[in-house]
Amino acid sequence: MRMVRFGIGLVCAVTLMAALLPLQSATAQEANACLALAAEAISVASEACAGLESGKACLGYGTVADVEGLQNPGDKVALEALTSITSAGAAPAEGTWGVVSLNIHTAEGDLTGILFGAAKVQSLLRPELLAVQTLPVTPNDILAVLLRTGASTNFPQVIRLNPGKEGAADARNEAGTWVRVRYEEWVGWANADQLTITGDAQSLPVLAETDIIPLYRFPAPMQAFSFATGDEAACAEAGSGLLLESLAENPVRVLVNGVEIVLSKGITLLRGALKTNLEVHNLSGTVTVKALGKAQEIAVGEMVRVRLGGADGMTAAAAPRAPELYGFAALQGIPAGLLPEPLSCVVGITAGDARTAAKATPGAARNLFYLQPAAIYPVVGAYTDSSEVKWWKLADASERWVEQAGVRTAGACETVAVVEPSETTPAKASSGGTGGGSSSAGGVPGGGGFAPASRTIWNAEISSDQMSGTCSAALNYCAHLVALSPQGNAVTWKGQELKTYTLARIRENTYSYVGRNGLGDGKIEMLLVFTSPTTFTMTQTVTYDAEPGCQHTHTLAGTIR
């Protein structure tokens, strides 16, 4: 395999060429129209769908397709009467943006859904499968029986049915040689010859040989559905997607495209197009994603992708990928104000924004670190100084402040409590750009988390190039080794390049670098998050001097060797 040097490291194989696309930047007038449209839609929808009853859908704003009885804001229909809902994408010139509120009733508790923009949900409820008489099955040998994702030994394993354990067969393939088995919370296909089946297997319904969607666990209307977003929104301020919120402390489950999403007093944002990925973002609380035998918990500020495929292009075709940071841009254009319990205030910047620095106290001259587009920053306080300049206090063990004028906001920022800055003298920032702190867990002063206490070597898997802007080519890199070491209150990163980067601590387990790349031909932004003592995620964005309108973003998933 030929290796060529380019930019931040060694490019693996041939650089993928991408079509030149014109950069579509809205004028100030268009942006104002989008903001006005979003504000009006949220205002109308919040009044039209207030107090929505359990098991109902309500048109909040704009138009929808496929549904009789939802023509005007405030119209309501029962979810059990729906097969699908398609909301309209934003069209500022026509003054429309589809917004639909859903109140999904489940056995665990109610779930609020906000469908918005160019998006569609289609019910997967199949009453005939709920009434199936299952047959007990056990392994007929001393060996475990593998339950697979399809009716063939070519399909991967979901779970093992061990000797002495009992599953329940609920379907078969057309030939009757394989049966679909429920075991614990999973479903998989097993060779009928390896099982002792109590009853007549030929009486079971015939299903597609790759159907492992456990619809029997999601019997409520719209508790199981397929979902997809359409074309890119006309403006960032009025996007497309689906918000889900559970106010219950106990887990509440919903099945989306064959992916089980479990929320505990949390908010998740869903996006995804046909034959691409379902993207599940954790905005607050606890969110877990399950697909094809693997469960993946998502921390606040992270997202997980699940590849979609199948005949309809809308069914989980792979296990959830490792979590990655989703960045502040994901929060733009979402009607979070319509949720029963609003999203807590967060601030951030997007890729095209000017650099904004956090400071130890409002108005301090020294910068602690620069905010990263690939991260969101929860807020715990607000302060207005003597010059009437507003500041946000970031959620961190140390004192961190950012000026309102330099950031974007999302969530219920108008309700943030006023707090006074600390009277203590700010700690002197290091050359890496972070405040001081006492030594603690992780070996990094002020770290208090999972950062390594000594030099460690990690395996790093790297994603494809998530380009933005006008780019001439995609850059794809090989998996490689990374050396990480503590250095004062920072962490050093040595990857494929000759250069060693020093990443400053932003908050517990999170480190950042913004500056010139190793070859000196561009700017690189790196955001490192330790997700456990043995795993990390890294988001790095490079903008080359020769192509300033293009940003190359890669996500790395690291595991310690």
pLDDT tens digit sequence for 166-218: 999 999 999 999 999 999 988 999 999 999 999 999 999 999 998 888 888 89
pLDDT tops 90 at residue 443: no
Rounded to whole angstroms, the Cα distance separating 351 from 369 reads 16
More confident residue, 80 or 428: 80
Does residue 38 lie in a domain region?
yes
Predicted confidence at residue 233, as pLDDT, reads 65
Domain's final residue, options 192, 216, 240: 216
Average pLDDT, the chain: 85
pLDDT tops 60 at residue 4: no
CB distance 356 to 325 below 8 Å:
no
pLDDT tops 80 at residue 156: yes
Task: Please tell me the least confidently modeled range out of 20-34, 339-353, 361-375, 448-462.
Answer: 20-34
Same domain, 110 and 248: yes
Does residue 475 lie in a domain region?
yes
Predicted confidence at residue 365, as pLDDT, reads 84
Does residue 510 lie in a domain region?
yes
Same domain, 84 and 228: yes
pLDDT tops 70 at residue 22: no
More confident residue, 94 or 10: 94
Domain of 107: which CATH number? 2.60.120.1440
Rounded to whole angstroms, the Cα distance separating 410 from 281 reads 15
pLDDT tops 80 at residue 14: no
Same domain, 241 and 333: yes
- Comparing CA positions, the residue from 183, 205, 210 lying closest to residue 131 is 205
Predicted confidence at residue 27, as pLDDT, reads 54
Rounded to whole angstroms, the Cα distance separating 122 from 83 reads 6
Same domain, 224 and 311: yes
CB distance 431 to 365 below 8 Å:
no
Domain's final residue, options 316, 338, 360: 338
Does residue 16 lie in a domain region?
no
Confidence of residue 287 (pLDDT cuts 50, 70, 90): very high
More confident residue, 409 or 127: 409
Predicted confidence at residue 50, as pLDDT, reads 94
Amino acid at 18: A
Same domain, 459 and 350: no
Rounded to whole angstroms, the Cα distance separating 483 from 460 reads 10
More confident residue, 474 or 162: 162
Nearby residues of 465 by Cβ (< 8 Å), 6 or more positions away: 16, 474, 475, 476, 552, 553, 554
- Comparing CA positions, the residue from 350, 275, 354, 361 lying closest to residue 314 is 275
445 is written with which tokens? 């002063």
Confidence of residue 423 (pLDDT cuts 50, 70, 90): low
Rounded to whole angstroms, the Cα distance separating 283 from 102 reads 19
Same domain, 333 and 460: no
Predicted confidence at residue 468, as pLDDT, reads 72
Predicted confidence at residue 7, as pLDDT, reads 36
Same domain, 442 and 550: yes
Confidence of residue 508 (pLDDT cuts 50, 70, 90): confident
Same domain, 113 and 236: yes
Predicted confidence at residue 28, as pLDDT, reads 63
- Write out the DSSP string of 167-219: EEEEEE-TTSSEEEEEETTEEEEEEGGGEEESS-GGGSPB--TT----GGG--
pLDDT tops 90 at residue 263: yes
Domain's final residue, options 360, 380, 415: 415
The mean per-residue pLDDT over the stretch 80-99 comes to: 92
Rounded to whole angstroms, the Cα distance separating 335 from 116 reads 8
Domain of 211: which CATH number? 2.30.30.40
Confidence of residue 433 (pLDDT cuts 50, 70, 90): very low
Confidence of residue 426 (pLDDT cuts 50, 70, 90): very low
Task: Please tell me the least confidently modeled range out of 59-63, 391-395, 501-505.
Answer: 501-505
Predicted confidence at residue 434, as pLDDT, reads 31
Same domain, 109 and 183: no
Rounded to whole angstroms, the Cα distance separating 496 from 493 reads 10
Same domain, 472 and 545: yes
Rounded to whole angstroms, the Cα distance separating 516 from 372 reads 15
Same domain, 395 and 363: yes
Number of folded domains in the chain?
Answer: 4
Q: What is the dihedral of CA 105, 106, 108, 111, to 10 degrees?
A: -50
How are beta strands 224-229 and 252-256 bridged, if at all? parallel
The pTM of the full predicted model, rounded to 2 decimals, is 0.71
Does residue 203 lie in a domain region?
yes
The mean per-residue pLDDT over the stretch 25-50 comes to: 84
pLDDT tops 80 at residue 429: no
Does residue 11 lie in a domain region?
no
Does residue 425 lie in a domain region?
no
Same domain, 207 and 228: no
Range of the domain at 147: 127-216
The mean per-residue pLDDT over the stretch 151-165 comes to: 93
Beta strands in 7-134 (DSSP E): 9-12, 16-17, 56-61, 64-65, 76-78, 84-87, 99-105, 110-116, 119-123
Note the pLDDT tens digit of each residue in 516-559.
988 889 999 888 988 888 999 888 889 999 988 888 888 889 99
pLDDT tops 70 at residue 257: yes
Confidence of residue 79 (pLDDT cuts 50, 70, 90): very high
Confidence of residue 444 (pLDDT cuts 50, 70, 90): very low
Does residue 427 lie in a domain region?
no
**In Å, how far are 110, 140, 335 from 247, measured between CA atoms?**
8, 45, 17
